[in-house]
Copies of this chain bind each other. A is one copy, B any other.
Amino acid sequence: MHITLESDYALRIVLCLVREKKRLDAKTISEHTCVTLRFALKILRKLVAGGIVKSFKGTQGGYELAKKPEEISLKDVIETVEGTYCLSRCLQDDYECSRGKSGICCFQKAFDEISTLVQERLQHYNFGMLKDDF
């Protein structure tokens, strides 16, 4: 939902793979990104499940990008890690507003509009654009 440290780590990890341009093992990625090995492994699993990176087991294993840098947006990475972005938890499917009234409220409409805007902007930035100026 929100952008947490975990998303930030995920972005760093993807950028690391973009820049090194070769298969890297989790330990190397961890060192390059200042994310602990265990946490990096956990995040990498999400990125694999999300189709952003490919993994290879065994000796000489590691991780590679599954797509071209310009095909990976900030939104792709963040939403793979956090789920759909939204400005307020009110917009989450399972959230039930404690105020008794039914129907859509004015705040919700505003939050929804803004969330869409944020998603569009996050979609706009991709790793093809970003790779050269970290």
Contact = CB atoms under 8 A, between A and B. Distances in A.
Nearest to A11: B107
A117 interface: yes
Contacts of A63: none
Interface residues of A, number: 35
Q: How many copies does the complex hold?
A: 2
Contacts of A113: 121
Interface of A is mostly: helix
Given A3-B88, A88-B8, A74 B105 contact: no
Nearest to A114: B121
A98 B11 CA distance: 13
Contacts of A15: 106
A96 B2 CA distance: 19
A33 B117 contact: no
Contact of A117 (B2, B74, B111, B121): B121
